[in-house]
Structure 1
Amino acid sequence: MITPSPTFGHSSEKPEERFYGPITKSAVSLAEIGRPERRRVFCMAVTNEDISGTQPSTWSAALDQEAAGVTMDDERAPRRLIVVSAGNAPNPIMLNEVQPSDTYPIEDPAQAWNVVTVGGYTDKIHIAEPELADHSPLAEAGDLSPFTRTSTLWTTGRNRPIKPDIVMEAGNRAVDASRTTVVDTTSLSVATSGPEVDRRPLVPFRATSAATAEAARLACRLMAAKPEYWPETIRALMVHGAEWTDKMRFALDPLGKTDAAKLLRHFGYGVPTYERAIASAENHLALVAQSEIQPYGASGFKDCHYYDLPWPRQAFEALGDEEVRLKITLSYFVDPNPGALASLDPYRYQSFGLRFDLKRRMESTDEFKKRVNVEERADPRRKPPTQSDTDNWRFPDGTPSGSLHCNEWKGPAAWLLARNMLCIKPVGGWWKNRADTATRQQKTRYALVVSVKTAREDVTLHTDINSIIFGTVPVSQDIEIGT
Structure 2
Amino acid sequence: MATKEIDRRRHLLLTGTSAAEPYTSPQQGGGETRLPPVDPAHHGNALKKQLERVRKDLIARDTRHDAIAVEARRGVYLEFASASGFDLALQSLEDRRAGVELAATRTQTGVTYATVYVPSGQLGYFEKKVEEYLTKTTKKSGNPKNKPLIESIAEIRLAVLEGFWTDDPALFPPAGKTICWEVWLRGEGDDLLARFREYAQKVKLQVGDEQLRFPDRLIVLAYGTREQMTGSIELLDVIAELRLAKEVPTSFVRMNVIEQEGWAKELKDRITAPSPDAPAVCIVDTGLNAGHPLLEPALRKGDLHAYDPSWGVHDDDGHGTGMAGIALHGDLAEALLSSSPVALTHRLESVKILHKGAANPPKLYGAITAEGVARAEIAAPQRKRAISMAITATDFRDRGQPSSWSAEIDKLCSGMDDDNPRLFVVSAGNIRVAPGMDYRSRNESEGIHDPGQAWNALTVGAYTERTRITEPVFNGWSPIARPGDLSPSSTTSCIWQSQWPIKPEIVMEGGNMALSPDGKDADFPDSLSLLTTHYQPFVKLFTVTGETSAASAGASRVGAVIWAQYPDFWPETIRALLVHTAEWTPRMREEITATRSRRRDMEHLLRCFGFGVPNLERALWSAGNALTLVVQDELRPFERDKSNEMRLHTLPWPKQALLDLSSVEVELRVTLSYFIEPNPARRGWERRHRYASHGLRFAVQKANEEPDDLRKRVNKAARDGDETIDSGDAGWLLGPTLREKGSVHHDRWKGTAADLASRKSIAVCPVIGWWRERHQLGRWKKAARYALIVSIRTPETGVDIYEPVANQVKIATAVPI
Normalized against structure 2, the TM-score is what? 0.54
Q: CA deviation at 1:204?
A: 0.5
Partner of 1:95: 436
Q: Is the 8 A contact 1:122 1:142 kept in 2?
A: yes
Given the alignment of the two structures, is residue 109 of structure 1 paired with residue 451 of structure 2, yes or no?
A: yes
Shift of 1:298: 4.1
Residue in structure 1 matching 2:625, options 270, 279, 283: 283
8 Å CA contact 1:120–1:207 kept in 2: the answer is yes
- TM-score by structure 1 length? 0.90
Match of 2:670 among 324, 328, 331: 328
**Structure 2 matches for 1:135-154, cutoff 5 A?**
135-154=477-496
Task: Return closer, same or farther for 1:198/1:66 CA change in 2, 3 Å cut-off.
Answer: same
CA distance in 2, matches of 1:365, 1:469: 20
Q: Which residue of 2 aligns with 1:4?
A: 283
Q: How big is the shift at 1:339?
A: 1.3
Give yes or no for contact 1:64–1:113 (8 Å, CA) kept in 2: yes
Correspondent of 1:14 among 360, 368, 371: 360
RMSD over aligned Cα, in angstroms?
2.3
Q: How far did residue 128 of structure 1 move? A: 1.3
Partner of 2:383: 38
- Alignment correspondent of 1:450: 790
Q: Does 1:428 align with 2:778?
A: no
- 1:429–1:233 CA distance, 2 compared to 1 (3 A): same
Determine whether 1:29 maps to 2:308. no
| Aligned partner letter, 1:370 | K
Distance in 2 separating the partners of 1:109 and 1:305: 32
Matched, 1:348 2:690: yes
* 2:732 is the alignment partner of 1:393: yes
Question: Which of 408, 430, 439 is 2:779 aligned to?
Answer: 439
Q: Does structure 1 residue 57 correspond to structure 2 residue 384?
A: no
Residues of 2 paired with 1:180 and 1:374: CA distance?
Answer: 63
Deviations 1:255-274 (A, max 9, x none): 62342123201110110132
Distance 1:469 1:193 in 2: 44
**How far apart are residue 6 of structure 1 and its match?**
4.2
Tell me what 2:510 maps to: 170
Q: Answer yes or no: is 1:220 the counterpart of 2:565.
A: no
**2:666–2:792 CA contact under 8 A, matched in 1:** yes
SS of the residue corresponding to residue 679 of structure 2 reads: coil
How far apart, in 2, do the equivalents of 1:27 and 1:346 lie?
33
* Deviation at residue 413 of structure 1 after TM alignment: 1.2
Whole-Å separation in 1 of the counterparts to 2:811 and 2:552: 29
The one-letter amino acid paired with 1:413 is: A
CA contact (8 A) 1:152 1:263 kept: no
Secondary structure, counterpart of 2:548 in structure 1: helix
Residue 317 of structure 1 corresponds to which residue in structure 2? 659
Superposed displacement of residue 416, structure 1: 1.0
Question: Which stretch shifts more, 44-53 or 118-127?
Answer: 44-53
| Aligned residues of 2:641 and 2:773 also touching (Cα < 8 A) | no
Relative contact order (C-alpha < 8 Å, sep 6+): which is higher? 1
Q: What CA distance in whole angstroms lies between the structure 1 residues aligned with 2:798 and 2:396?
A: 51
| Mapping 1:203-282, distance limit 5 Å | 203-252=543-592, 256-282=598-624
| Residue of structure 1 in register with 2:416 after alignment | 70
**Residues 253, 417 of structure 1: CA spacing in aligned structure 2 closer, same or farther, 3 A cutoff?**
farther
Greater shift after overlay, 464-473 or 349-358? Answer: 464-473
Measure the CA separation in 2 of the matches of 1:181 and 1:274. 36
- Preserved contact between residue 465 and residue 482 of structure 2 (Cα < 8 Å): yes
State how far apart, in whole Å, the 1-side matches of 2:627 and 2:633 are: 20
Kindly provide the CA deviation profile for residues 300-336 of structure 1, in whole angstroms up to 9, marking residues without a partner as x.
Answer: 1112111123331222122222211111111111110
Shift of 1:377: 1.6
The number of equivalent residue pairs is: 462
Alpha-carbon distance in 1 for matches of 2:797, 2:359: 59
Change (3 A) 1:323 1:50: same
CA distance in 2, matches of 1:378, 1:319: 38
**SS of alignment partner, residue 5 of structure 1:** strand
The secondary structure found in structure 1 opposite 2:589 is: helix
Residue pair 2:688, 2:774 contacting (<8 A) in 1 also: no
* Residue type of the alignment partner of 2:433: N
Runs ≥4 residues deviating over 3 A: 6-11, 96-100, 252-255, 342-347, 434-438, 467-473
Q: 1:315 to 1:147 in 2, by over 3 A?
A: same
Is the CA contact 1:81–1:115 (under 8 Å) kept in the aligned structure 2? Answer: yes
Percent same amino acid among aligned pairs? 39
Equivalent pair of 1:330/1:448 in contact (CA under 8 Å) = yes
Letter in 1 for 2:378: I
Q: Which moved more, 1:359-368 or 1:275-284?
A: 359-368
Contact 2:591/2:604 (CA < 8 Å) preserved in 1?
no
What is the letter of the counterpart of residue 361 of structure 1? A
Question: Alpha carbons of 1:64 and 1:437: their partners in 2 closer, same or farther (altered >3 Å)?
Answer: closer
Equivalent of 1:377, from 697, 716, 719?
719
The code of the aligned residue for 1:50 comes to D
Report Cα offsets for 1:223-277 as digits up to 9, x if no partner.
1111111111111111112111121123248662342123201110110132121
After superposition, what is the alpha-carbon deviation per residue over 1:400-449, rounded to whole angstroms, capped at 9, x for unaligned?
Answer: 11111001111111111232211000001111123348422211210010
Q: What is the distance in 1 between the residues matched to 2:557 and 2:536?
A: 22
Partner deviation per Cα, 1:78-108 (whole Å, 9 max, x = no partner): 111111000001132x224745311211011
Distance 1:470 1:404 in 2: 29
Deviation of the 1:341 alpha carbon: 2.8
1:470-481 superposed matches below 5 A: none
> Could you tell me how far apart the structure 2 residues matched to 1:343 and 1:9 are?
33
Q: Which residue of 2 aligns with 1:477?
A: none
Query: Which whole-Å CA distance do the structure 2 matches of 1:253 and 1:234 have between them?
Result: 33
Quote the Cα distance in structure 2 between the aligned partners of 1:387 and 1:153. Answer: 30
Greater radius of gyration (CA):
2
Partner of 2:36: none
Bigger share in helix: 2
TM-aligned CA deviation for residue 36 of structure 1 = 1.8
> Does structure 2 retain, via aligned residues, the 8 Å contact 1:169–1:210?
yes
* Counterpart secondary structure, 1:248: helix
Alpha-carbon spacing, 1:234–1:253, altered in 2? closer, same or farther (3 Å): farther
